[in-house]
Amino acid sequence: TTGRTPLMAGNWKMNLNHQEAVVLVQKLAWTLSDKKHDYARVEVVVVPPFTDLRSVQTMVDGDRLQLRYGAQDVSVHDDGAYTGEISASMLAKLGCSYVVVGHSERREHHAEDDALVNAKARKAHAAGMTPIVCVGEGLDVRQEGRQVEHTLAQVDGSLAGFTAEDVAGLVVAYEPVWAIGTGEVATPDDAQEVCGAIRARIGEVHGEAAGSGVRVLYGGSVKAANVAGIMQQPDVDGALVGGASLQADEFGGICRFY
Ligand code: PEP
């Protein structure tokens, strides 16, 4: 992670109403204020449902918490007759720093393809937020040994049209689908294989500065007990955490990976 600030992002998925969100953020703030640990060396981000964002904003601003937050999705449209959609400018106005795009659950249940993911990433970026672009293979692809080529094709498609300078500031999350919510974490070597390939490909396509600047996260059943080995890999800069991010002490443990 040479020169790159480690990033731990908690994807709450469709869990916690806005009152429950306040409780979790309070507990997390308490955990992160423990002076025994040097949390300052990690960037900690929570990614709640849309309906929680205003409450999270109020807490982060009011208590000046060293915590950033983001959204789980964004519309490709700017405004207008798109019932149910949330625009990038709405999220930016709420103080979101990040937007997760192309999560495998959206690719699977909402038929999102790389072109749509790319359009969402570009909307988020244009509004001043950092997209966390999710990629990763399913079990069938892994069993065929095609995880690298599959994931790199998603990277190419999802990052199309970004300038080299833009790409250097982006976040890509490698999340093998077979490891998400299954308790089956990838081995550190498996994570490094694909995260390293992602960085190398970005270096080839967008230039060396983009390759060395982009932060590549691993996601899939990360817990406090398994995060250290993954974070020791040279091309893994952090984690996108689902289930374990719903418990402040567990997520705090992940943020103390070092
Ligand atoms: C995720 O949803 O991005 C994820 C990695 O989930 P989990 O940590 O629960 O596997």
Mean pLDDT in residue range 144-165: 97
What number is the average pLDDT over the span 216-244? 97
Mutation pick for ligand 1 pocket among 15, 133, 222, 226 (CB with most ligand atoms within 8 Å)? 222
Q: What percent of the chain has pLDDT over 90?
A: 92
Mean pLDDT for the stretch of residues 54-68: 92
What is the share, in percent, of the chain residues with pLDDT greater than 70?
99
pLDDT for 63: 85
Residue 99 pLDDT > 90? yes
Determine the angle formed by the axes of helices 18-32 and 53-62, rounding to 10 degrees: 30
Q: Which domains does the chain have, with CATH numbers?
A: 7-255 (3.20.20.70)
CB 181 less than 6 A from any atom of ligand 1: yes
User: Could you tell me the distance, in angstroms and rounded to a whole number, from the CA of residue 61 to the centre of ligand 1?
Assistant: 27
Task: Give kind and range of the element (H or E) at residue 215.
Answer: strand 215-219
* ipTM of the modeled complex: 0.97
CB atoms < 10 A from the CB of 64, how many?
7
What pLDDT, on a 0 to 100 scale, did the predictor assign at position 39?
Answer: 87
Q: Which of 11, 23, 6, 5 is nearest to 175 (CA)?
A: 11
- Provide the pairing of β-strand 130-135 with 43-47: unpaired
Give the confidence band of 65 by pLDDT, cuts at 50, 70, 90: confident
Instruction: State whether the beta carbon of 243 lies less than 6 angstroms from ligand 1.
Output: yes
> Is the CB of residue 211 below 6 angstroms from any atom belonging to ligand 1?
no
